Structure 1
Amino acid sequence: MLQYIPNIKALVVLITLVSLANIAWSQQAEKASISGKINATSGEALVGVSVVLKGTTYGSVTDSKGRFEINNLLPGNYTLQISFVGFEIQEKVIQLKPAQKAELNISLRDKTYEMQGVEIVGKSETRQINEQPYAVTAISVKELQNSSQDAKEVLNRVSGVRVLEEGGLGSRLNFSLNGFSGDQVKFFLDGLPMDNFGSSLSMSDIPVNSIDRIEVYKGVVPVWLGTDALGGAVNIITNKKANFLDASYSIGSFNTHRISLNGAHTHDSSGFTVRGNANYNYSDNNYKIWVPINDRLGNVIDSAETERFHDRYRSGLVKMEAGWVNRKFADNLLFGIMAAANDKQIQTGATMNNVYGGVTRTSQSIVPTFKFSKDDLFIKGLNLSLFTAYNRTKSEIADTLAGVKYNWLGERFSYNSNLGEIGNKVMLATFTDDDFNSQLNAGYAISSTVSLALNYAYSYFYRTIFDVKDPDKRENRYPKSLTKQQLGFAVKFDPSAQWSTTVFAKYYALQTKSSKEVDFGNEQRRIEATRSEKENLGYGLASTYFVLPNLQVKASYEHAYRMPWPDEIFGDGLAILPSPDLGPEQSDNLNVGAAYEFKLGQENRFNLESSFIYREASDMIHRPGTSKPQNPFLNLADARTLGVEGSFKYNWREFLNVGGSITYQHITDEADSVYNESFTATGWQKNWQKGYRLPNTPYLFGNATVGFTAKNLLTPESVWKLNYYFNFSEQYFLGWTKLDNPDPQYLIPRQFSHNLELACSLKNGKYNVAAECRNFLDARLYDKYFLQKPGRAFYLKLRYVL
């Protein structure tokens, strides 16, 4: 028996080891995990939040997206403690079952307190963006999401910003930022360029309840946006909640109807998500205007107030995305499709001197998209994102009424002519635009004080035109294509918590193919194909320093280039004429500013900001003021901008908020001579407009806001808001006019507008209703080229949030 004892001992040890392994494997298989996302009550992700299980050594810290994860937990009861400087500590009791993967979404409430005279305040994502070294203004629109406003209305209250409209809903917009306008300022949706999103997705088509915040970069544009913007950029950040439903309906004056539906659903364990939104906009735009009345011969016989009669607008958009979020292989891996369409009756051209009764424009777009992003890809600190989209848009322009003219009373006059209402031959033209856009961003954190960023953006545009009324039109036979590439590289230094500096360089390349008319006025007059290639190098830096914890100074400089965009070179078939020789514009941009925030007592908070703007632009792309219904974009040799802007905000408790901004910008033509290319006088000539202020551009404007908030008024779980908005614009000139001798005929008058809004939110924001009166004093308001905007208007919005 003794001889078997070693074998028995070995067998016992083996059985014990196998049992222990089974127990360990079983316990491992039963282990649970906790993950989730932590936001401020405003919905913004919080970075660096401490998440611990009380009484254990387990814990985590939220990443750049506000997410955390704690793994390898045994089943049982735990108390989760969440703490972050400037926010109230929150504890949550959790009971974990075997192998459970708990997913939590937690909101922390703001808290401001003092310790021995030192104030500590939590920083939301909006505030962190405002504290970047760039001249940037980030606006959280969560408090406005019940409003009937759109992105355009919100932007028009930012210092340095003016949104010039040609009319009512669906009219062409011209965004002006510190004197730069049009495509000099680029637009992005969640960091993705909106250039190829189709004409049904503009600022006036995006309701505020689909927006989280808006970032406005003035002058210097970060490399990661990957754009050739000359004067700034606007980045619209949409709602990124994992699970939500937001539906709204708005009805208003001029038979205006707007419907918005936004939602997302994310599976907790797999990370598979489906998100989408749909918008519909409609308006007759039959608002009243004060206009001259012409007779059959074109003579002005009277002036009268009458309704616009051919200005209907309707648009629809459906956007869907599906894929995976917050997985090990990708933070975002999304495939999407967007379909958009609009239908616009055209009432006027570039001015109100011509009245159209049969000109229309329609378009349809299909845009498949792909998005990928991953932080800490392969190695910690390496971040990568890729966006790709292809857009095919078909637009049809109809100007088929030959020999017909209208006046503002809607009276129709017939003439012996083969010309359409615009003034050219009648046309029924189809524009087919193919646009491919791709953008790659890579970033790497070398250390806690040094990081690198690389961006490559590629865009290809191709247009074909077929006119049923003139199928053999020669200029439509020539290819119209545009290829843009941009490469950007940046190095960011953070020597201390108070000081941050970024230096960068950008390479631009442009290739275009088009056609143009040559030898005008000669027997050799003809149309020839043109080809152009341009390369440029830009560079700059941005730096910020906190002199005091609440006093920030910042400065930024950039030598920037902006390549022409398709409509500027090829025209749009309506108000914009082709300009095939249009070249890139360049500018040296300097911004110097400061921001100071302070408190008086515990209930009065103030925020003051101001900045100085200096621009020296060459070959500035500009569309001059004119009395013609059509005009092209031209290169203005030299232009200078000197400007200053300031804003203030005041809050008393949560009850009262007051704010405002004012902007002054002196933009002048500084060219000594101009090149005149004509049949009779080609060559360089003296510039008689040197020192004149840039026409058709406001130079002094401002706004103010007063808001009141009352909670639990009349009913529990309710929030009531009353807001007053004021806008002001000083008179400015329509054409090149001497400052000391303005001609009233070319003077756009001083303007004031007043809006009033009342909103009510019930059941903690589940049910919402808002009523608004815009321009309640019914003032005559004008923008570019003396185009009159709507008068007094009323709107009612109903919103449901789940």
Structure 2
Amino acid sequence: MKLLLFISILFTATVTYGQFSINGKVLDDKKKPVPFATVQVKPTDKNTRTDNNGLFNVDNLSKGNYEIHFRCVGFDEKTVKVNVTKNTSINVVMSQATTELEQVTILGKSEATLLREAAYAVEVVETEGFKNSTVDASQLLGRISGVNIRQDGGLGSNFSLSLNGLSGNRIRTFINGIPMDYFGTSLTLNNFPVNQIEGIEVYKGAVPIHLSSDALGGAVNIVTSTKPIDYVDASYSYGNFNTHRASLNAQVHDNKTGFTARVKSFLNHSDNDYKIDVHLLDFESGKLADEPTEVRRFHDAYNSKMVWAEAGVMGKKFADELMFGVLYSENYKEIQQNPYATGTPAFPVGEAFRQEDKLIYNFTYHKKDLFTQGLNVNSYFVYVDSEENSVDVSPNRYDWFGNYEADVHPTTGEMGRKSDFTLNQKNLLGNVNGEYVLTNNHSVAVNYSLNKLTLQGADKHQPQNNTQFSNPNDVLKQVVGASYTYSAFNDKLSTIVFGKQYFYKLFAVQSNYQGTESSDFNYDNDALGYGLAATYKLRTIQFKASYEKAYRFPESYELFGDGLNVIPNQELLPEESDNLNLGLRWSTPPRRNRIQAELNGFVRNTKNYIRFEPRMNRSYYVNDPKVLAQGIDLTVNYLFNNVFNLSLAGTYLNLRNNDPESAVYKDRLPNEPYLFSNLTMSYKQVLPSDQTLTFTTISRYVHDFYLAWPSLAASESKSVIPSQLTHNIDVTYTLKDGRYNLSLLCTNIFDAKVYDNLNQQKPGRAFSIKARYFIQN
């Protein structure tokens, strides 16, 4: 009741001061409107952007003197001083910059800089310069300090994201604030086309309440473009291993009525027939060859497709954005080997596969100054109807040359028990966020999120799956959050205090291995999370600190398995973590040569750490009672004349078992890299007639790490995943100021043999070419 009363007061309160506004229009040297320029009012923390016609409005200002800063890519910054004694209108002319701003650097645009200067430990990647490249979202994230992207193989293979000591489901990913994992395997970070992305926000440690999910130690939010403009963005790329990636995005917007319709779509395919080294099996002696033989993967093809259509209105008095949408996606993946095998097994898989179909309905609503000045509301609702099919029924035994012997194991599949498992999932997601600006220095926010999941399925061959999923299994998560933000000393000091109340309910059916016995399992758990984030800014230095008591409840995949390789464990306990971040950010004043550096230290003290235990076709998730992560990450950026950019990012992670009663006490966690870094260099040459040529190189290093618990490793040579050093080069040519674009990419230039997750070999050198057409009105 107290919370409901607080929300009621928040949504109905009004203030009696700050009744004035500043509005106006921003033009360029040719008296044309400058859309989407950032408008920041100092000494307040108020900021906005100009609309498609260059118009802006800032409300709820008290009498006094203000400095208004105008920033936009391609223009010199403009500052206007205004004395406010009444509602004030101004016109501003911005001069075009003599040299274009760097498009690729992580320094980002002005909006990104403002977000990075917030109290949360957050990195922002602007994607404008990458939209012509063949990279995907996961490859961009891998360039950030503290972030490690791991992938089992080629396009569409299993991958995981690690952020400052925590990985997997502990790090939540979002699309425009909507949890991304519920969109399915056809829409993930490693296949999401980068030209659909406006920016990527990476929160290290404490997570804002508007990203209201049970993230344990960080979050990644992909922001797609919602500008009220007409545009068409089409691209196609082709590369080695018969890899095709196509994308088509378009939007129409009517300024008068506000009607907006948009479509986002992509199609991905790869044979993934890259070469690997295999110790072949001698069927007569039963021994593996001493020397490896190079073979080509033959059953690892991948297909995914998505169409996402939305329609609604933008820029109206009752809604800044009100959109309804439907998304359809498909995903098909052949299985070349058991995904949880250590290294490369002697017997490949030749017929097993997985596929997934999803139909998703979404509704979004955003409005600033709803009912009263300073009240901002953002909300979404999503319904997901999904069907997944996992099939492993072949009795044939394959070798690594694609040959097979028929009916060798007639009672089993290629990886274990025969299975033709269909799982239906229905998911309802909702989020409502309200923020109210009390004064220039005080604001409050509340948030509510809902996540209800129902699973039901059947298996044509495996009784355990039939029994476990014959009746619906239900998972219900709810999070209620509230925060208070205070700023002082002309915004030099900013502090955020927040709390999150978690509600969790689980109903599951437990079945024995034979599927002959079953029992109901119920689990309820409520938890209170809380935290604090603060920052203090000087002229060139910014200090940051944050703490969060965070919780994460098991995901359906961890609880119920996949019906094929991962067995269920419905008795997993929720994770609980104390997370501390301390950061320092330094930058030189804007000039011809500019340097920025950021140093971040972190501690993650986690109870009931959920860890994956790979056991071939009997893999499962377990709780480790105590795990402690300590580490440091560093990023240094050097920008010369907005033409040459050099970025170095490195991370050291000390992730260890911290349970004194464990046999592996103080051991590093297995299969987890602890030292990695990357170096990115970019040079851009502006050519006549609106042409640009950009060269980018990326070098990445991962130190060797243990595959198993170090103290239990039987043989060091077989228990260490070797170090990795790879180099990529990307050349991009743009014509007609970005309308026509062509990109050439070479990954793993020196064809290094690279092994990663569970010591599985990754692709060697590969080339790709991408053409992109973009036009806007």
Q: Do these two structures clear the TM 0.5 threshold for a shared fold by scoring above it?
A: yes
User: How far does residue 543 in structure 1 lie from its aligned partner after superposition?
Assistant: 0.1
Query: Which whole-Å CA distance do the structure 1 matches of 2:379 and 2:421 have between them?
Result: 36
1:705 aligns with 2:702: no
One-letter code aligned to 1:528: S
1:505 aligns with 2:499: yes
One-letter code aligned to 2:153: G
Maintained 8 Å contact 2:70/2:78: no
One-letter code aligned to 2:218: G
Query: Which whole-Å CA distance do the structure 2 matches of 1:105 and 1:308 have between them?
Result: 61
Secondary structure at the aligned position of 1:195 is classed as helix
Secondary structure at the aligned position of 1:633 is classed as strand
Query: Which whole-Å CA distance do the structure 1 matches of 2:758 and 2:324 have between them?
Result: 42
Maintained 8 Å contact 2:597/2:637: yes
Query: Which whole-Å CA distance do the structure 2 matches of 1:180 and 1:122 have between them?
Result: 26
Alpha-carbon spacing, 1:262–1:695, altered in 2? closer, same or farther (3 Å): same
Identify the residue that residue 94 of structure 1 maps to in structure 2: none
Identify the residue that residue 441 of structure 1 maps to in structure 2: 433
Maintained 8 Å contact 1:539/1:559: yes
Identify the residue that residue 216 of structure 1 maps to in structure 2: 202
Identify the residue that residue 539 of structure 1 maps to in structure 2: 530
Query: Which whole-Å CA distance do the structure 2 matches of 1:567 and 1:132 have between them?
Result: 34
Identify the residue that residue 268 of structure 1 maps to in structure 2: 255
Q: 2:592 aligns with which of 600, 603, 607?
A: 603
Query: Which whole-Å CA distance do the structure 2 matches of 1:672 and 1:517 have between them?
Result: 33
User: How far does residue 416 in structure 1 lie from its aligned partner after superposition?
Assistant: 4.5
Query: Which whole-Å CA distance do the structure 2 matches of 1:70 and 1:137 have between them?
Result: 27
Identify the residue that residue 584 of structure 1 maps to in structure 2: 574
User: How far does residue 572 in structure 1 lie from its aligned partner after superposition?
Assistant: 1.6
Q: 1:292 aligns with which of 254, 279, 283?
A: 279
**Correspondence 1:19-38 to 2 at 5 A:** none
Maintained 8 Å contact 2:501/2:527: yes
Alpha-carbon spacing, 1:630–1:142, altered in 2? closer, same or farther (3 Å): farther
Secondary structure at the aligned position of 2:40 is classed as coil
One-letter code aligned to 2:370: L
Bigger drift between 568-577 and 247-256 goes to 568-577
Q: Deviations over 1:133-179 (max 9, x none)?
A: 11110011111111110101101111111111111001111111112
User: How far does residue 333 in structure 1 lie from its aligned partner after superposition?
Assistant: 0.6
1:567 aligns with 2:557: yes
**Correspondence 1:644-683 to 2 at 5 A:** 644-673=632-661
**Correspondence 1:410-559 to 2 at 5 A:** 410-413=402-405, 414-424=407-417, 426-470=418-462, 473-496=466-489, 497-517=491-511, 526-546=517-537, 548-559=538-549
Alpha-carbon spacing, 1:716–1:621, altered in 2? closer, same or farther (3 Å): same
Identify the residue that residue 20 of structure 1 maps to in structure 2: none
Identify the residue that residue 733 of structure 2 maps to in structure 1: 760
Alpha-carbon spacing, 1:786–1:768, altered in 2? closer, same or farther (3 Å): same
Identify the residue that residue 244 of structure 2 maps to in structure 1: 257
Q: Deviations over 1:541-569 (max 9, x none)?
A: 000001x2120000000010001111110
One-letter code aligned to 1:540: G
Identify the residue that residue 48 of structure 2 maps to in structure 1: 64
Query: Which whole-Å CA distance do the structure 1 matches of 2:625 and 2:127 have between them?
Result: 39
Q: 1:783 aligns with which of 752, 756, 761?
A: 756
**Correspondence 1:86-235 to 2 at 5 A:** 88=76, 109=96, 124-235=110-221
Maintained 8 Å contact 1:44/1:124: no
Percent of paired sites with the same residue: 34
User: How far does residue 433 in structure 1 lie from its aligned partner after superposition?
Assistant: 0.7
Q: 1:637 aligns with which of 622, 625, 642?
A: 625
Query: Which whole-Å CA distance do the structure 2 matches of 1:667 and 1:599 have between them?
Result: 37
Q: Which has the higher Rg, Structure 1 or Structure 2?
A: 1
One-letter code aligned to 1:723: T
User: How far does residue 410 in structure 1 lie from its aligned partner after superposition?
Assistant: 2.4
User: How far does residue 468 in structure 1 lie from its aligned partner after superposition?
Assistant: 2.3
Query: Which whole-Å CA distance do the structure 2 matches of 1:127 and 1:699 have between them?
Result: 29
**Correspondence 1:342-357 to 2 at 5 A:** 342-349=331-338, 350-351=340-341, 352-353=344-345, 355-357=348-350
Bigger drift between 552-561 and 737-746 goes to 737-746
One-letter code aligned to 1:507: Q
Alpha-carbon spacing, 1:781–1:123, altered in 2? closer, same or farther (3 Å): closer
Alpha-carbon spacing, 1:45–1:483, altered in 2? closer, same or farther (3 Å): farther
Q: Deviations over 1:381-433 (max 9, x none)?
A: 1111210010001111111113x332323232442440111211x12121111
One-letter code aligned to 2:232: L
One-letter code aligned to 2:337: T
One-letter code aligned to 2:479: Q
One-letter code aligned to 2:695: L
Maintained 8 Å contact 2:165/2:604: no
Q: Deviations over 1:572-609 (max 9, x none)?
A: 22332211111110100000010100159x42110011
Where does structure 2 lack aligned partners over 5 or more consecutive residues? 1-22, 58-67, 80-90, 100-106
RMSD between aligned alpha carbons?
2.9
Q: Deviations over 1:207-255 (max 9, x none)?
A: 1111111110011101111111001000011122322111100000000
Greater RCO (CA < 8 Å, at least 6 residues apart):
2
Alpha-carbon spacing, 1:536–1:329, altered in 2? closer, same or farther (3 Å): same
Maintained 8 Å contact 1:725/1:754: yes
1:335 aligns with 2:335: no
Query: Which whole-Å CA distance do the structure 2 matches of 1:127 and 1:369 have between them?
Result: 30
One-letter code aligned to 2:258: G
Alpha-carbon spacing, 1:733–1:89, altered in 2? closer, same or farther (3 Å): closer
Query: Which whole-Å CA distance do the structure 2 matches of 1:700 and 1:83 have between them?
Result: 41
Alpha-carbon spacing, 1:393–1:107, altered in 2? closer, same or farther (3 Å): farther
One-letter code aligned to 1:509: F
Identify the residue that residue 226 of structure 2 maps to in structure 1: 240
User: How far does residue 44 in structure 1 lie from its aligned partner after superposition?
Assistant: 6.2
One-letter code aligned to 2:48: S
Q: 1:396 aligns with which of 378, 389, 394?
A: 389
Secondary structure at the aligned position of 2:139 is classed as helix
Alpha-carbon spacing, 1:215–1:235, altered in 2? closer, same or farther (3 Å): same
1:688 aligns with 2:688: no
Query: Which whole-Å CA distance do the structure 1 matches of 2:77 and 2:411 have between them?
Result: 76
User: How far does residue 105 in structure 1 lie from its aligned partner after superposition?
Assistant: 14
Alpha-carbon spacing, 1:743–1:106, altered in 2? closer, same or farther (3 Å): farther
Query: Which whole-Å CA distance do the structure 1 matches of 2:92 and 2:473 have between them?
Result: 50
Maintained 8 Å contact 1:727/1:754: yes
Relative to the length of structure 2, the TM-score reads 0.86
User: How far does residue 89 in structure 1 lie from its aligned partner after superposition?
Assistant: 7.3
User: How far does residue 631 in structure 1 lie from its aligned partner after superposition?
Assistant: 0.8
Identify the residue that residue 742 of structure 2 maps to in structure 1: 769
One-letter code aligned to 2:472: P
One-letter code aligned to 1:766: R
Secondary structure at the aligned position of 1:408 is classed as coil
Secondary structure at the aligned position of 1:152 is classed as helix
Where does structure 1 lack aligned partners over 5 or more consecutive residues? 1-32, 51-60, 72-81, 92-103, 113-120, 674-686
One-letter code aligned to 1:541: L
Relative to the length of structure 1, the TM-score reads 0.84
Maintained 8 Å contact 1:41/1:107: no
User: How far does residue 738 in structure 1 lie from its aligned partner after superposition?
Assistant: 3.1
Identify the residue that residue 319 of structure 1 maps to in structure 2: 308
Query: Which whole-Å CA distance do the structure 2 matches of 1:596 and 1:362 have between them?
Result: 48
Maintained 8 Å contact 1:704/1:727: yes
Q: Deviations over 1:432-488 (max 9, x none)?
A: 110110011011111111111111110111111111235783223243211101111
Query: Which whole-Å CA distance do the structure 2 matches of 1:106 and 1:189 have between them?
Result: 35
